[in-house]
Amino acid sequence: MRLVCLLGFTIAPALAACPYAQDAGVHVGSSANPHANLARDTIPTGETPAVGSATASSAAGKKGVMLMNRISPAKSKLYIANADGTNERPLLKNPVYEYHADFSPDAQWISFTSERNGDGNSDIWRVRPDGSDLQPIVTSPAVEDSAVISPNGTLVAYVSTANNFEANIWIKDLDTGTEWNITDTPANRADPDMMHGNFRPAWSPDGEWIAFSSDRNTIWDGHGRPSFNGLAGWEHTQELAIYVIRPDGSDLRLVTNRTRYSLGSPKWSPDEERLVFYEMTRNATYDAHRPESLANTSSAIVSIRLDGTDRRVEVDGPNVKTFPQYVTNTTIGYHVKGGQNDGLYHTDGTCYTADIRSPSWSPDGKLVVYEKVDWSVRPLYKKLYSWDNDWDYRFTYVFPQLSSDELIAVTHRQHGDASILTFDTNGNEVLSVYSSSDSDLIYRASATHNERGAYYPSWSPDGDWIAFGVGSWFDERDVHGGWIMRSTANGSYTEVLVDSQLNLTDGGKLNSGFPSFSPDGKKLVYRVWGPNTLMHNDGTEIGLRILDLETRKITQLTSSWDNLPSFSQDGKLILFTRKINPTNYDICTIRADGTDLRVLTTSGANDAHAVWRQDGKIMWSSGMYGFRCECALYDRTFQPYGQIMIMDPDGSNKRPLTNSIWEDSMPLFLTRDGF
Ligand SMILES: *[C@@H]1O[C@H](CO)[C@@H](O)[C@H](O)[C@H]1NC(C)=O
Ligand SMILES: *[C@@H]1O[C@H](CO)[C@@H](O)[C@H](O)[C@H]1NC(C)=O
Ligand SMILES: *[C@@H]1O[C@H](CO)[C@@H](O)[C@H](O)[C@H]1NC(C)=O
Ligand SMILES: *[C@@H]1O[C@H](CO)[C@@H](O)[C@H](O)[C@H]1NC(C)=O
Ligand SMILES: *[C@@H]1O[C@H](CO)[C@@H](O)[C@H](O)[C@H]1NC(C)=O
Ligand SMILES: *[C@@H]1O[C@H](CO)[C@@H](O)[C@H](O)[C@H]1NC(C)=O
Ligand SMILES: *[C@@H]1O[C@H](CO)[C@@H](O)[C@H](O)[C@H]1NC(C)=O
Ligand SMILES: *[C@@H]1O[C@H](CO)[C@@H](O)[C@H](O)[C@H]1NC(C)=O
């Protein structure tokens, strides 16, 4: 996880020279400072882990604890302010964790999403703009988000993952309490084998229609460099189109789509003749939620007539522009996120720098509500919402592994000098076993990517050793080294088991990482990556290898895009993730002798990061239920659609263990008396 400086957190409203004013055809003075905020993506060094309270006792009445990782802000708080950023105050009297607020058309209410029923459980609520009269609208274990109140105040449209874990548009009648979905009806259901999420509903001013965005009937596809065999990267992107539908689910119509573009967050013009939305390339939906690329990614604000004619680019140019909304009959407000131009903008040329997310303007354009987020890391063992009453869900850092001595090893931080930590099952006795900032095995000259560190601990069966990889990962694996190491559990002694070079060269040693001990302690399975993989389209330098710890002999197990291997408890099977085709990763098993390959997942979405549970079931992260919000609206996540799943070792009985709007992964069960 990344700890992030919050220096730019305090809003400093400032009339600034708007970088897009030229595009909007408006002249502004050049004397004001457009860089009022400090960069928000600084990755500091020297992070000390914060440890939450012990849990053994708080798990009373439960079978135990499920540890997991979540990528979402640690805190999220709603504010209301004048549209020029002045008079900002917290919206709620007792804020907990809120986001995605929206003014009702009569300005009497603000609807929003809250996780006050548990970290990770999104529900929808409403409150008066003065912070009084807080009320739930829909609270369920599913995701409820993006609530918008109808013009006459009787209906609420929202996104919910109820019943089938997929993002559908739902309506609730506030008078009768009735709820119905309008996008998963027999007439409107999308092709289940393609992407099929529905997002960000918006009422027409007369209350007769709802506009929304959807990736329905588009292909699963990834971003990234077409580096090997024309394969694109592994995080999936999103191609959204704009639709309208009636609140009873009739008359579903496509308003506009554009091949390999994402058109999102529609809003109506006051005269009901146009829809305004953001538009970016499909590829940019990944870059728009990554801190290293956000500032260099762009989108346009576009409007179009309801019949799909008279398309107008309202604002173009650099930076990610989202959340467009007509604030007068002719002026559109929107949000710029990323880099030094973050803030609230109007197409009339005014703008106010502010480190905020998800603005919504009042119908008269005079007030704005938004959230500010804090990306500090949750304390270890922080309580999360539990989707299974038998288990307490708690937060952990990534790749947790349990030893026979009941110690947990993790990768601390996901990027940038990640290290190996251990702690006991109550989250106490935290020990740094291997601090990669002290390692001379890591190539450090390029500070841009930060894709390095000590990763993926695995305990020897006697608990005496921890094996892990040290080096450069992700894109940096192409050129820089990766070593398999082992360390005594107390960190006093480390040794290299599989060597590498700092810089990989053709014909040289490989980048090796992600080791897992065999249950007899005699072998390690791990993955390799060589420079020839990129240069010669050659499969011989990728795949899984097995190291015999006594003879130090290495044998090749597979030669495909395989990673994250782990031995089963009986030593017979190896579980791993494979790139099955250019756009899809799946969970596989293979016998330790290289026979009997089985592909256990079949969705067009990515399935990855599989681990064995102690009872022999397989847990992993899957995108099979699709995005839960528009991809471009996330921050700092990699695969925001990821939810934790469990299945039998033959691939049967798949079911989800989480149902959040966030990227959830890396489960580890700590059980008292089994499952
Ligand atoms: C949506 O409603 C239809 C009935 O109109 C029903 O068949 C379908 O199961 C519902 N989908 C969900 C996810 O509840
Ligand atoms: C309120 O508006 C909805 C459509 O937005 C409509 O179905 C409903 O009949 C209206 N209710 C009243 C009381 O006018
Ligand atoms: C997609 O974006 C990545 C960076 O995230 C870039 O390397 C790649 O060239 C882009 N691909 C296309 C087809 O634009
Ligand atoms: C728009 O969507 C329709 C219906 O899904 C599809 O047939 C068409 O190819 C799409 N057009 C573009 C430009 O993507
Ligand atoms: C804005 O548009 C609405 C609906 O078309 C109209 O009733 C209203 O008079 C317009 N307001 C101004 C200030 O032009
Ligand atoms: C972003 O763009 C600027 C100027 O266009 C360039 O200097 C900088 O290196 C780019 N940053 C990244 C991360 O590509
Ligand atoms: C660390 O563990 C090793 C091997 O188990 C042991 O020999 C050594 O004495 C321990 N060191 C400390 C400081 O406890
Ligand atoms: C590794 O390669 C980089 C260029 O990619 C070069 O700047 C650096 O000096 C090399 N380091 C070593 C130790 O060879």
Q: Model confidence over 196-220: pLDDT tens digits?
A: 999 999 999 999 999 999 999 999 9
- Whether 547 is in a domain gets the answer yes
The closest ligand to the CA of 163 turns out to be 1
Q: Which amino acid is at 99?
A: Y
What does DSSP assign to residue 56? T
**Are residue 145 and residue 252 in the same domain, yes or no?**
yes
Distance CA 367, CA 125 (A): 19
Neighbours of 392 (CB within 10 A): 23
Name which of 475, 481, 467 is nearest 451 in CA terms.
Answer: 475
- Whether 15 is in a domain gets the answer no
Mean pLDDT over all residues of the chain? Answer: 89
Q: What atom of ligand 3 comes closest to residue 281's alpha carbon? A: 14
Distance CA 583, CA 606 (A): 8
pLDDT class of 507 with cuts at 50, 70, 90: confident
Q: What pLDDT does 447 receive?
A: 57
SS3 at position 65: strand
For residue 258 and ligand 4, the question of a CB distance below 6 A is answered with yes
For residue 594 and ligand 2, the question of a CB distance below 6 A is answered with no
Q: Whose structure tokens read 């509903």? A: 201
CA of 500 relative to ligand 8 center, distance in Å: 14
Q: What atom of ligand 8 comes closest to residue 502's alpha carbon? A: 13
Question: Rounded to 5 degrees, what angle do the CA atoms 433, 436, 440 make?
Answer: 120
Q: For the chain, what's the residue count? A: 675
Interacting residues of 403 by C-beta distance below 8 A, sequence separation 6+: 409, 422, 459, 463, 489
Please compute the mean of the pLDDT values over residues 162-186 and round it to a whole number: 98
One-letter-per-residue 3-state SS of 174-207: CCCCCEEECCCCCCCCCCCCCECCEEEEEECCCC
* Cβ–Cβ under 8 Å, residues 332 and 314: yes
- Nearest C-alpha to atom 4 of ligand 6 is from which residue? 296
CATH number at residue 223: 2.120.10.30
Instruction: Write the pLDDT tens digit of every residue in 333-380.
Output: 999 998 788 999 999 999 998 999 999 999 999 999 999 999 999 999
- Whether 106 is in a domain gets the answer yes
What does DSSP assign to residue 408? E
Name which of 111, 97, 119 is nearest 145 in CA terms.
Answer: 111
Neighbours of 87 (CB within 10 A): 10
Name which of 603, 586, 522, 589 is nearest 557 in CA terms.
Answer: 589
- Whether 544 is in a domain gets the answer yes
**Are residue 260 and residue 401 in the same domain, yes or no?**
no
Q: Whose structure tokens read 């030229």? A: 22
What does DSSP assign to residue 284? H
Environment class of residue 655 by beta-carbon count within 10 Å: exposed (0-12), middle (13-18) or buried (19+)?
A: exposed
Q: Which domain holds residue 233?
A: 79-290+300-308+369-374
Q: 584 forms bridges with which residues in the sheet? A: 581
Q: Above 90 in pLDDT, residue 508?
A: no
**Are residue 562 and residue 417 in the same domain, yes or no?**
yes
Strand-by-strand arrangement of the 554-556 sheet: 511-517, 523-529, 542-548, 554-556
Q: Name the domain count of the chain.
A: 2
Instruction: Write the pLDDT tens digit of every residue in 579-636.
Output: 998 889 999 999 999 999 999 999 999 999 999 999 999 999 999 999 999 999 999 9
- Whether 596 is in a domain gets the answer no
For residue 318 and ligand 6, the question of a CB distance below 6 A is answered with no
**Are residue 275 and residue 402 in the same domain, yes or no?**
no
* Cβ–Cβ under 8 Å, residues 176 and 252: no
pLDDT class of 192 with cuts at 50, 70, 90: very high
- Whether 332 is in a domain gets the answer no
CA of 202 relative to ligand 3 center, distance in Å: 31
CA of 253 relative to ligand 4 center, distance in Å: 12
Q: What atom of ligand 7 comes closest to residue 464's alpha carbon? A: 5
Q: What atom of ligand 2 comes closest to residue 248's alpha carbon? A: 7
Domain end call among 567, 582, 602: 567
Distance CA 180, CA 95 (A): 29
Q: Above 90 in pLDDT, residue 100?
A: yes
Given ligand 2 and candidates 148, 152, 204, which is best to mutate, with the most ligand atoms within 8 Å of its CB? Answer: 152
Q: How far is CA 222 from the centre of its chain?
A: 14
**Are residue 268 and residue 412 in the same domain, yes or no?**
no
653's tokens: 């009985």
Q: What pLDDT does 185 receive?
A: 98
For residue 206 and ligand 5, the question of a CB distance below 6 A is answered with no
For residue 163 and ligand 1, the question of a CB distance below 6 A is answered with yes
For residue 217 and ligand 4, the question of a CB distance below 6 A is answered with yes
**Are residue 419 and residue 304 in the same domain, yes or no?**
no
For residue 15 and ligand 8, the question of a CB distance below 6 A is answered with no
Provide the percentage of residues in the chain whose pLDDT is more than 90. Answer: 80
CA of 149 relative to ligand 2 center, distance in Å: 11
Q: Look at 6 and 59; give whichever has higher pLDDT.
A: 59
Instruction: Write the pLDDT tens digit of every residue in 7-41.
Output: 222 222 233 333 333 333 222 222 222 222 222 22
What does DSSP assign to residue 292? H
Q: What pLDDT does 505 receive?
A: 87
332's tokens: 């559109």
Q: What pLDDT does 226 receive?
A: 63
Environment class of residue 349 by beta-carbon count within 10 Å: exposed (0-12), middle (13-18) or buried (19+)?
A: middle
For residue 270 and ligand 5, the question of a CB distance below 6 A is answered with yes
**Are residue 417 and residue 304 in the same domain, yes or no?**
no
State the virtual CA torsion across 379, 161, 208, 335 in degrees, nearest 10: 30
Q: Above 90 in pLDDT, residue 77?
A: yes
**Are residue 139 and residue 241 in the same domain, yes or no?**
yes
Q: Above 60 in pLDDT, residue 46?
A: no
- Nearest C-alpha to atom 14 of ligand 2 is from which residue? 152
**Are residue 304 and residue 402 in the same domain, yes or no?**
no
Domain end call among 567, 598, 624: 567
**Are residue 451 and residue 562 in the same domain, yes or no?**
yes
Given ligand 5 and candidates 268, 269, 271, 274, which is best to mutate, with the most ligand atoms within 8 Å of its CB? Answer: 271
The closest ligand to the CA of 182 turns out to be 1
- Whether 53 is in a domain gets the answer no
Q: What atom of ligand 1 comes closest to residue 181's alpha carbon? A: 1
**Are residue 277 and residue 421 in the same domain, yes or no?**
no
31's tokens: 């004397």
Q: CA-based diameter of the chain, in Å?
A: 78
For residue 292 and ligand 6, the question of a CB distance below 6 A is answered with yes
Instruction: Write the pLDDT tens digit of every residue in 114-124.
Output: 999 999 999 99
Q: Above 60 in pLDDT, residue 55?
A: no
Instruction: Write the pLDDT tens digit of every residue in 513-548.
Output: 999 999 999 999 999 999 888 777 778 899 999 999
**C-alpha atoms less than 13 angstroms from C-alpha of 330 in its C-beta half-sphere:** 3
CA of 565 relative to ligand 1 center, distance in Å: 39
Q: What pLDDT does 58 receive?
A: 53
Q: What pLDDT does 424 receive?
A: 95
- Nearest C-alpha to atom 3 of ligand 8 is from which residue? 503
Strands 332-337 and 643-647: unpaired
pTM, full prediction: 0.91
For residue 155 and ligand 2, the question of a CB distance below 6 A is answered with yes
**C-alpha atoms less than 13 angstroms from C-alpha of 660 in its C-beta half-sphere:** 30
Distance CA 354, CA 337 (A): 9
Q: What pLDDT does 558 receive?
A: 97
142's tokens: 């599913």
CA–CA distances in Å: residue 609 to residues 130, 431, 639: 45, 25, 12
Name which of 634, 375, 379, 474 is nearest 642 in CA terms.
Answer: 634
pLDDT class of 167 with cuts at 50, 70, 90: very high
Residues with CB under 6 A from ligand 7: 464, 488, 490, 492
**Are residue 283 and residue 412 in the same domain, yes or no?**
no
Q: Which amino acid is at 134?
A: L
Question: Rounded to 5 degrees, what angle do the CA atoms 275, 258, 348 make?
Answer: 40
CA of 523 relative to ligand 7 center, distance in Å: 22
Q: What atom of ligand 8 comes closest to residue 480's alpha carbon? A: 1
Distance CA 119, CA 90 (A): 20
* Cβ–Cβ under 8 Å, residues 172 and 160: no
CA–CA distances in Å: residue 37 to residues 54, 131, 210, 288, 652: 38, 28, 36, 19, 51
Q: What pLDDT does 169 receive?
A: 99
CA of 377 relative to ligand 3 center, distance in Å: 29
- Whether 199 is in a domain gets the answer yes
